[in-house]
Structure 1
Amino acid sequence: MTVAAELNQAVEQVKQQVIEWRRYLHQHPELSFHEEKTAQFIYDILSTFDNLELSRPTKNSVMARLIGSQPGKVLAMRADIDALAITEENTFDFISTNPGVMHACGHDGHTSMLLGTAKILSGMKDKIKGEVRFFFQHAEEIYPGGAEEMVQAGVMDGVDLVIGTHLWSTMEYGTIGICPGPMMAAPDTFWINVYGKGGHAALPHQTIDSIAIASQVVTNLQHIVSRTTDPLDNLVLSVTKFVGGTTHNVIPGAVEICGTVRSFDKELRETVPKLMERVIKGITEAHGATYEFTYEFGYRPVINDAEVTQLMEDVVVEALGAEWVDHMRPNMGGEDFSAFQQKAPGCFFYVGAGNKEKGITYPHHHPRFTIDEDALAVGVKMFVHAARKIVMEVE
């Protein structure tokens, strides 16, 4: 039996166990930086596998090292393990038992897929030339994120390549999303407070109308995207929160604004807050108001290495078939997988997990989000065949 055939057989054998792990994790979600029980569950399962060296790089993360029988490259694989503050509205029999917390982004699936991968590969130590590291990362959903903490703890020391995946419910089962170069944007956050002078709504001339001024700030910020930025650059500036006032006949003295900026280019990213403050300062001063402006840089953009991405596309073709390849466009979502990519070339790819025929169509972060569990075996297959190409079938 070839190594590829042996791996495919092993995936079939572990498939049901991966589903069971996913359902357990779905029932017991924990928020970012609070994944104590989740991390212990992962550690306990990994402890039952042979040939793994286990550690806890941070309080709520787990790393397993599988060192092969011969020297070679070091391949890292990552799964995120945290959940979201969402009240689940699904009706299947394994919904969240933690009120107000839900795996609404597929991290339960990512974790179970990597556990399945570790189970398979841990039994093939004698075929591995090099090392495979399994990262079970906490706190992807909340900045500053768990990836950076794990990197600071040294998990990437000596790593040659790093790969990670995301189950994607808006991509149909039967596809693998591949994207060389920029794939996911840098997600930054901003807060603006506009301070005017409150008063009676019937006497606006005695006030400095913070709502009218803040509204101009919101509309003029869009000129940064449409008139200041090169149309060929990728930039999103979205105001997502606008709070001011308490009743119908009072002009409030202050308005609170919040939002996000998404970009790929480092120079553009650093320029945007300066452009924003120029707009905010000009408008507020013109109307006799004042302001406070805070800008927080979030995760770096996910930039896939061309060579590693081509390798993963080859894995898709060899393990699943060319018809599975989806040369997807970049998107403006954010991911702290980028922290690992600062230390070694890497590839982040999507596994299609939606299924219209099964009614699995809800987007990520929705209270009725779920995945087609058939996609779990696909993710495992991608991981183990990546290991085959990088640390097993090596000349």
Structure 2
Amino acid sequence: MDLKDKLFRKLEDKKQDMIETRRFLHENPELSFEEHNTAKFIEDFYHDKDVKVTSNVGNGYGIIVEISGKGPGRVIGLRADFDALPIEEEADVPFKSKNEGVMHACGHDVHTAYMLHLGEALIELKEEWPGTIKLIHQHAEEVPPGGAKSIVESGMLDDLDEIYGIHIFPAFDTGTIALVPGNAMAGRSNFTLTIQGSGGHGAMPHTTRDALVAGSYFVTEAQTIVSRRMDPNDSVVVSITAFDAPGGFNVIQDKVVLRGTVRYLDEDNKEPAYEAMKKITRGIETSFDVECTLDYLYDYPVTYNHPRETQLVEDILKKSVGSYIDEITHPKPFSGSEDFSYYLEKIPGTFINIGARPEGMEDPYPNHHPKFLINEDSLLISAKTLGEIVLDRLKG
């Protein structure tokens, strides 16, 4: 029996453990930068194992687990995130979140559970593979500035030859592996626009400087950033996601606050989008005699999957099509963003999408939905996928 078969047999034996671990984590979600109990759970899992565990890496509860194989060799990183979202769960499952207003609605419980038991299996076989594996249990993927950037800046990954990560998606059939070479996920910027006017009586608008009207104009004008200021061949999204203007029937408010996000699949569009928004706000100030304060945050960069490593992964996984993998697809890039992009800025690698469509569900709830569901077979598929990749890439 070769090493891959040994690993797969161990993972198959651990499948129910993966599911139980995932359900425990799902019941006990914690928000970004608040994952104290989750981090302790991860640390305790490795407590009696022959590995080096470094806690509190980066700007939060990041954990790096270093597994040394038999003799020197390449150093490969595998990453799984473990934070949850501020969402009240509506999914009808027996392991529903016990924390009000907090839910694992993106699958990070799945990522952590499969990684723990994949790590356990790799530790049990450490005398049969060369080199070093670093498991990166990452905090705070969901909230900027995220955890990845600070983990990279810690220097603890400077010796990595390659890095790989996965994300589960119910939109893809279970058994599907989706690979996107090059620019795979969008860069992200978030903004808050505060418009300060002068309020007054709703019956006498001529005595006011109406911030609400100015904000409404901004909502409309901001759409021209994409339609009239960006190359139509580029993928850019500008979305206004909040418009806060509380008040009564007869009161014109002093101030309104708008929030939104900008996404782009080319880093070259990051600054032009910001400059265009600044021009619009200056025009609004002049047109409506208001004061605009634009807080604009350059957030996660474009996730760039290195073409060489992406092709290597496809070549490796093709050998398993027809067994635990049904098919390998090549979808279009995603407009969602990921702070895995920070690792790929410094280290060759790729970010892999794993199908997790619940059985019998033609129109599954997407990531970040309060009724988010996954097929738990995706845990074993995820573990086998990264396990197969890391064993192959350790050989170089």
Decide whether the 8 Å contact of 1:191 with 1:295 is kept in 2.
Answer: yes
C-alpha distance in structure 2 between counterparts of 1:239 and 1:359, whole Å: 30
TM-score, scaled to structure 1 = 0.95
Decide whether the 8 Å contact of 1:57 with 1:150 is kept in 2.
Answer: no
Cα distance, 1:223–1:358 mapped onto 2, change above 3 Å: closer
Question: Which residue of structure 2 lines up, in the alignment, with residue 118 of structure 1?
Answer: 119
Q: Percent identity?
A: 37
Count of residues in correspondence between the two structures = 392
C-alpha distance in structure 2 between counterparts of 1:119 and 1:300, whole Å: 32
C-alpha distance in structure 1 between counterparts of 2:361 and 2:225, whole Å: 43
1:157-199 CA deviation, whole Å, 9 max, x = no partner?
Answer: 2001000111112222121111001111112111112222222
Structure 2 residue 24 is the aligned partner of structure 1 residue 24: yes
SS at match of 2:227: helix
Structure 2 residue 389 is the aligned partner of structure 1 residue 386: yes
Amino acid at match of 2:22: R
Question: Which residue of structure 2 lines up, in the alignment, with residue 43 of structure 1?
Answer: 43
CA displacement at 1:273 relative to structure 2: 1.3
SS at match of 1:85: coil
Question: Which residue of structure 2 lines up, in the alignment, with residue 319 of structure 1?
Answer: 320
Decide whether the 8 Å contact of 2:183 with 2:266 is kept in 1.
Answer: no
Structure 1: 4+ residue segments shifted above 4 A: none
C-alpha distance in structure 1 between counterparts of 2:199 and 2:256, whole Å: 11
Question: Which residue of structure 2 lines up, in the alignment, with residue 328 of structure 1?
Answer: 331
CA displacement at 1:356 relative to structure 2: 5.0
Amino acid at match of 1:5: D
Question: Which residue of structure 1 lines up, in the alignment, with residue 148 of structure 2?
Answer: 147
CA displacement at 1:302 relative to structure 2: 0.8
Amino acid at match of 2:213: A
Residue 353 of structure 1, aligned match among 348, 356, 369 = 356
SS at match of 1:354: coil
Question: Which residue of structure 2 lines up, in the alignment, with residue 91 of structure 1?
Answer: 92
SS at match of 1:273: helix
Amino acid at match of 2:221: N
CA displacement at 1:358 relative to structure 2: 5.2
Decide whether the 8 Å contact of 1:299 with 1:339 is kept in 2.
Answer: yes
Decide whether the 8 Å contact of 1:319 with 1:382 is kept in 2.
Answer: no
Structure 2 residue 376 is the aligned partner of structure 1 residue 373: yes
Decide whether the 8 Å contact of 1:245 with 1:251 is kept in 2.
Answer: no
Structure 1 portions without partners, runs of 5+: none
Structure 2 portions without partners, runs of 5+: none
C-alpha distance in structure 2 between counterparts of 1:153 and 1:293, whole Å: 31
Structure 2 residue 11 is the aligned partner of structure 1 residue 15: no
SS at match of 1:216: helix
Amino acid at match of 1:389: D
C-alpha distance in structure 2 between counterparts of 1:29 and 1:251, whole Å: 41
CA displacement at 1:63 relative to structure 2: 1.2
C-alpha distance in structure 1 between counterparts of 2:38 and 2:12, whole Å: 25
Amino acid at match of 1:13: D
C-alpha distance in structure 1 between counterparts of 2:291 and 2:39, whole Å: 47
C-alpha distance in structure 2 between counterparts of 1:284 and 1:356, whole Å: 54
C-alpha distance in structure 2 between counterparts of 1:47 and 1:100, whole Å: 31
Cα distance, 1:134–1:193 mapped onto 2, change above 3 Å: same
CA displacement at 1:115 relative to structure 2: 0.8
Residues 166-181 of structure 1: matches in 2 within 5 Å? Answer: 166-181=167-182
Question: Which residue of structure 2 lines up, in the alignment, with residue 71 of structure 1?
Answer: 72
CA displacement at 1:130 relative to structure 2: 1.4
C-alpha distance in structure 1 between counterparts of 2:48 and 2:362, whole Å: 36
C-alpha distance in structure 2 between counterparts of 1:57 and 1:4, whole Å: 32
C-alpha distance in structure 2 between counterparts of 1:356 and 1:226, whole Å: 40
Question: Which residue of structure 2 lines up, in the alignment, with residue 262 of structure 1?
Answer: 263
CA displacement at 1:359 relative to structure 2: 7.5
Amino acid at match of 2:379: L
C-alpha distance in structure 2 between counterparts of 1:324 and 1:7, whole Å: 21
Question: Which residue of structure 2 lines up, in the alignment, with residue 337 of structure 1?
Answer: 340
SS at match of 2:347: coil
SS at match of 1:21: helix
Question: Which residue of structure 2 lines up, in the alignment, with residue 80 of structure 1?
Answer: 81
C-alpha distance in structure 1 between counterparts of 2:311 and 2:214, whole Å: 50
RMSD: 1.7
Question: Which residue of structure 1 lines up, in the alignment, with residue 53 of structure 2?
Answer: 54
1:347-366 CA deviation, whole Å, 9 max, x = no partner?
Answer: 11111111250588111122
CA displacement at 1:377 relative to structure 2: 0.3
SS at match of 2:101: coil
